[in-house]
Structure 1
Amino acid sequence: MFSKDKVTEIFCTVDDFCKEFDLRIKELKQVQVSGEKRYRNRCLSMSDSEILTILICFHLGAHKTFKHYYQQIVQDHWADLFPNNLSYNRFVEVQSRYFVVMALFLKEKGLGKCTGISFMDSTTLKVCRNQRIHNHKVFKTLAARGKSSMGWFFGFKLHLVCNEKGELLSFYLTKGNVDDRNPKHIKKLTEQLFGKIYADKGYLSKALWEMLFADGMQLITKVRKNMKGHIMELKDKLLLRKRAIIETINDELKNLCQIEHTRHRSVNNFIMNILGALIAYCFFPKKPSLNIEEVKVNQLSLTIA
């Protein structure tokens, strides 16, 4: 488990954002109409910043289950940091209320900026073993069967885009049977991007290339063995070999941040788990990155990675 100083650092960052968020809500909140039915809005003993910090720190630790993490770490070792902690059952009930806050925090504070060099890939999120597909109930009407390079699975796909610094730029969640080249989802995934996007052969599509080119982006992938070769700049060849950076990010999200597991009991907590894992990755002190330098030799620009 990481130090309490790291927990305090995360709490300060989250608390500053929560204060800004509360000010926005107060500005947008309208005066309640007279005669309208009023509802109780009882405040929790824990602040929003404390709850968000606990959700994020879970994905930075070594615990596999949230229950053991909350009871052993939050209520025991971090009792001085969170003196007014809720019971485990109550915490699980209220955590889904903070979906909007976590999504905005990830968008404004977590995601990086596009530099013109982006890497795109998708990873599977299995919700159960293949032997239990027929007995699965939580995501029965939401998840779908799909096939990846590792075989068939039942669940969802998480589409990610990162830059050469290892910072996440965009993400998108779809069913497991959705094609990676689906133009509708790719358009939403690349709304704020520009420059060149490097991807694997799974994104090889003339229609997709033309759509991205019309939006000011260039999709660069390897060609299949039965296709004719095409001219590619040396810079693009070198960067295409470094596409493993986003596969490393997918591996860290699964093995370190626990973005994938088969113990979900509600859809809301599944979404909160994904947001928490993505935010936790943004707090990593060291991310997989490329050391890129441009050297001009005889008026030719070469990229050394």
Structure 2
Amino acid sequence: MDLERVFCEVDDFCQAFEPQWNQQLLHSDERKRRKTSNLSLSEVMTIIIAFHRSNYRTFKPYYTGYVAKYWRGAFPMRVGYPRFVELMGAALIPLCSDLHTRKGQVSGIGFIDSTPIIVCHRQRAPTHQRFKKKAHWGKHSMGGCYGFKLHLIINDEGELLAFHVTPGNIDDRHPVPHLTEGLSGKLFGDKGYISTHLFQVLFEKGLQLITPIRKNMHNRLLPLFDKLLLRRRSLIETINDPLKNISQIEHSRHRSIAHFMANLVAGLIAYTHQPLKPSLNLTNQQLILLDKPM
């Protein structure tokens, strides 16, 4: 990851975001102690984002052993690790806002999928207190797990269009209407998104939901191009796997829900900074076929 390029883009965002954010903060008459930080907001965000492309599995060795040793010149006013952990939670809202500014372009082709985010081993779930009443048991193709679900929509170039986090027991179809706000064209999903009601809701918004059929369903005619795109739905799965195994958005060492979300959102931002993303490499002539009838 090009650290200088990431910092410049994050700093440009913070210069426009911080003044508006400070104006909208609610003020109270209570006197509260606010520690000043030697690190700027853009520096904090850059360090968090860069972690997800550093090949480190845990944040503490990354910060104390890599940032403090090799990035002294880039961050001369760095703080201690306990203080930086406090700053991570405070950077959640700016991270979420930055991610929304880095969404891809709507091309008329979208792929949707969900992946479980496990917060602890299943044997520790009954006594787990960190995410009590927030995380829930859920089922997926590999069995049951305790945690959350990450819902993603990408375009044909692998760019992120929308994301949503729900408890693990929420049906995959439930957040789709909210996720697809502002999208149009065709949306490809797996069998978990089969729903006549959902199809009608999306169709009224100008979005066609295309899924495989189950064995007990009647066959339906699809244009050849749609069938080919449906077979390439695995494109989004090639994104979920690196997010969890390289960017480390899934682990069991979170201190709070704020740190959990900051880690997850920063991992998605790091993905958007990735120069080469999984893509279908469709030509303009192939994209024109989307508007042609059967």
TM-score for both structures, normalised by structure 2: 0.93
Q: Does 1:11 align with 2:7?
A: yes
Q: 1:72 to 1:187 in 2, by over 3 A?
A: same
Other-structure match for 1:163? 155
Q: Does 1:120 align with 2:112?
A: yes
Larger radius of gyration: 1
Percent identical pairs in the alignment equals 46
Check conservation: 2:44, 2:87, Cα contact below 8 A: no
Aligned counterparts, 1:20-99, within 5 A: 20-25=16-21, 36=29, 39=32, 41-99=34-92
Is contact 2:136–2:146 with CA below 8 Å preserved after alignment? yes
**Structure 1 letter corresponding to 2:95:** M
The equivalent position to 1:252 in structure 2, one of 233, 242, 245, is 242
SS of match in other structure, 2:162: strand
Partner amino acid for 1:235?
F
Q: TM-score, normalised by structure 1?
A: 0.90
- Matches of residues 1-305 of structure 1 in structure 2 within 5 Å? 6-25=2-21, 36=29, 39=32, 41-108=34-101, 110-182=102-174, 185-293=175-283, 295=285, 301=289
Q: Which whole-Å CA distance do the structure 1 matches of 2:241 and 2:150 have between them?
A: 12
CA separation of 1:23/1:149 partners in 2, compared to 1, >3 Å: closer, same or farther? same
Gap runs ≥5 in structure 1 = none
* 1:71-106, Cα deviation, whole Å (9 max, x unpaired): 011111111111110000010012111111111111
CA distance in 2, matches of 1:88, 1:139: 23
Shift of the 243–29 alpha-carbon distance from structure 1 to 2, 3 Å rule, reads: closer
**Aligned AA (1:74):** V
Alignment CA distance shift 1:26-1:147 (3 Å): closer
Question: Structure 2, unaligned stretches of length 5 or more?
Answer: none
| Structural RMSD (CA) | 2.1
Partner of 1:172, secondary structure, is strand
Question: Following TM superposition, by how much is the alpha carbon of 1:29 offset from its aligned partner in structure 2, in angstroms?
Answer: 7.6
Task: Describe the superposition over 1:105-134 as per-residue Cα deviations: whole angstroms up to 9, x where unpaired.
Answer: 1101x2112111000000000011111111
Q: Which amino acid aligns with 1:149?
A: S
Relative to 1, partners in 2 of residues 1:172 and 1:57: Cα closer, same or farther, differing over 3 Å? same
User: Using the alignment, how far apart are the partners of 2:132 and 2:225 within structure 1?
Assistant: 46
The ranges of structure 1 where at least 4 consecutive aligned residues each deviate by more than 2 angstroms after the TM superposition are 22-30, 36-43, 293-296, 300-303
Give the CA deviation at 1:22: 2.7
